[in-house]
Amino acid sequence: MRKFLVAVLAAVSLAGCTSAPESSSGPAVTLRVLAGSELRDMAPLLAEAAEETGVTVEMTYLGTLEGAETVASGAADGRYDAVWFSSTRYLQTIPEAKKRLANTTRIMGSPVVLGVREPAARRLGWDAKAPTWSEIAAAAERGEFTYGMTDPAASNTGFSALVAVAAALDGSGRALDAAAVDRIAPRLAGFFSGQRLTAGSSDWLSGSFVRRATGEDPGGPLDGLVNYESTLRSLNRDRQLPEPLTIVYPADGVISADYPFTLLAGASDEVRDGYGRLVDHLRAESTQNAIVAETERRAVVPNVGLPDGAPSGLVELPFPDTRTAIDALLVAYFDRLRTPARTVYVLDVSGSMAGERLAALKTALTGLTGVDTTLSGRYCRFRSREEVILLPFASVAGEPTTFTVSAESPQSSRDAIRTAIDGLRAEGETAVYDSLVKAYGLFADAGERFPSIVLMTDGESNAGRALGDFTSFLATAPHPVRVFPILFGEAAEQEMRQVASSTGGELWDARDGDLGRAFCQIRGYQ
């Protein structure tokens, strides 16, 4: 064996001293990448990269937390080669996920900041002098500043803002620990009293903000929104708003996304090689210039300018790297700090739901009652102070049952909701719009609570009002409420899409069977 080897080696050794000029091209390879949805805007640059390097990227988009869960649970093993999210900080705190990560390369950056409508910025004096997070929190508490921010468990911008405002209000200058979270909770509550809009994704949030600013969605304009500098700059560049946003960089610091492109452990040599070529290409000066120009994000290599007029020298706040601190912050946000939600679940229990479908609905809803212990399941559960109203319907709208999740013993409240879910029976016709109108009547005393309706139906409305009657009703509805329809069975897709768009909500498709995932994802919008 040895001798044979030596012979072969000698025969091929003429390759030894030729050194080919370095080139980023190489054998064609495809990287299967689990990615954050905000990276969709990289598609043109990735297409160019594929031509240059032979490395094709196949992106599958998931939310931050869902992505983390996919990696941590091992579901990504063998199915994906890499992950690419705006941040892997959360992922790094989960040991089962961390051990599955290999090489990581930062591709670009963008701080999470505030976009404030010009009149509001002038009124608050923030156009002239950048406020601190404390000043922003004080304005929100006084009712002088309203804003939208994503769900911090579902999206990185909300998560980053939560960490930034907490770190700034803490003021110790150290990375937060769990005890600090308790200390600053009262002042954080002031900041979150100004939040009027939440969403499960940053893109959806800015879309909703724009539609409210232009009057397309009900509810009136908000003063500002929390998002990436790049997203806010793009909104201004594309003139999507009646007046441009003033981009406010809190004076005491920001948290930035750094988009680490991270290889998963166990990648083949071929994939590793492709990964190396791709990230080299993405970090090349010319690509970095294109990233800045096209996506308004910041470069991560020297010699590439900032996006036009963007400030340099931003103070980066310390980010906690322990699970305990991060969990304490998220739990405080959901259970104590945020404005609680009132959600009406309008549930189709017509005859067609009988059997498997009803069972699937029960399982899916039960997942929100604290029995799902997966990562995303833990954050989907009904939270302290939240109001959950079950409104089953068939030939007519049924009687609503209201549950307020107790702050002292939330699980017993969740157990009560589960019992009610378990008691649902299927029989009769499908009065979708009568039931929606009835649901709208359940928000009169909702106060500041975040109102929303989740509509789950498996067929066409065949009793009572029609879609036209409902849209006419909307014009006179006393409170704007977003409706999130979930398609199931033979649901009427076109009609449901119209219900979502006319109320500023969003359509979810669970016809592939994953009803639980739909209910869980909609939690980010409640």
Partner 1 sequence: MASSRAGWTGTRIVALAAGVVLIIVAAVVVTRHGGSAADGCVSAVPVRGVIGSEKEPFFDDDRVTARLACLGYEVDVDSRGSREMLDSLSQPGNGYAFAFPSSTPTAQKIQQTLEIDERLPLFSTPMAVATFRPIVAVLTRAGVIRKASDGTDVLDIAALLDLARRGVTWDRLEGNVEYPARKTVLLSTTDPQDSNSAIMYLSIASQVANGGAIVTTSEQARQVLPDLCRLIFDQGDKPETSQVLFDNYVVDGMGRTPLALVYEAQYDTTAPPPQLGADNVLVYPRPTVYSRHTLIPVTEEGRGVGQALRDDPDLVRLAEEHGFRPEKPSGQPVTKRPRPVDVVESPSFEVLETMLSALAPTAQNAARCAQ
Q: Which residues bind partner 1 (CB under 8 A)?
A: 1, 5, 8-19, 21-22, 89, 92-93, 103-104, 106, 109, 168, 171-179, 252-253, 256, 299-303, 312-325
CB of 439 to partner 1, least distance (A): 42
**Complex with partner 1: residue 21 or 309, whichever CB lies closer:** 21
Shortest reach from residue 257's CB to partner 1, in Å? 13
Q: Which CB, 8 or 43, lies closer to partner 1?
A: 8
Angle subtended at Cα 389 by Cα 387 and Cα 393, rounded to the nearest 5 degrees? 170
Residue whose CB is less far from partner 1, 22 or 356:
22
Beta carbon nearer to partner 1, 5 or 444: 5
Rounded to whole angstroms, how far apart are CA atoms 480 and 221? 13
Phi, psi of 166 (to 5 degrees): -65, -45
DSSP letter string, 56-83: EEEEEE--HHHHHHHHHTTTTTTT-SEE
- CA of residue 526 relative to chain centroid, distance: 12
As a whole number of angstroms, the distance between CA 341 and CA 404 comes to: 10
Q: Which is nearer to partner 1, 99 or 237 (CB)?
A: 99
Write down how long the chain is: 526
Helix or strand holding residue 106 (H, E): strand 101-106
Q: Are 113 and 247 in contact (CB under 8 A)?
A: yes
Least distance in Å: CB of 31 to partner 1? 18
CB of 256 to partner 1, least distance (A): 8
DSSP, res 14: G
Helix/strand/coil percent split, the chain, to 5:
45, 20, 35
Which residue, 92 or 501, has its beta carbon nearer to partner 1? 92
CB of 307 to partner 1, least distance (A): 14
Helices (H) then strands (E): counts for the chain: 21, 17
3-class DSSP state of 35: strand
H or E stretch at 230? helix 229-237
| Neighbouring C-beta atoms of residue 475, cutoff 10 Å | 8
504's torsion region: left (phi>0), alpha (psi -120 to 50) or beta?
Answer: left
Tally the C-alpha atoms within 13 A of residue 408's C-alpha that lie toward its C-beta.
Answer: 0
Supply the minimum distance, in Å, between the C-beta of residue 317 and partner 1: 7
Q: How far is the CB of 96 from partner 1 (least distance, A)?
A: 13
CB of 82 to partner 1, least distance (A): 15
Task: For partner 1, give the closer residue by CB, 303 or 494.
Answer: 303
- Yes or no: say if 524 and 330 are a contact pair by the CB < 8 Å rule: no
- In this complex, which beta carbon is closest to partner 1, that of residue 93 or of residue 246? 93
Q: Which is nearer to partner 1, 104 or 240 (CB)?
A: 104
At closest approach, how far in Å is the CB of 360 from partner 1? 37
Candidates 1, 95, 26, 79; CA nearest to 322 is 95
Q: Residue 401's CB: how many other CB atoms inside 10 A?
A: 15
For 482, other C-beta atoms within 10 Å of its C-beta total 22
Phi, psi of 467 (to 5 degrees): -55, -45
Q: What is the largest CA-CA distance in the chain?
A: 90
In terms of CB distance, is 14 or 128 closer to partner 1?
14
Q: Of 8 and 396, which CB lies nearer to partner 1 in the complex structure?
A: 8
The nearest distance, CB 8 to partner 1, in angstroms, is 6
Query: CB of 272: closest distance to partner 1 in angstroms?
Result: 8
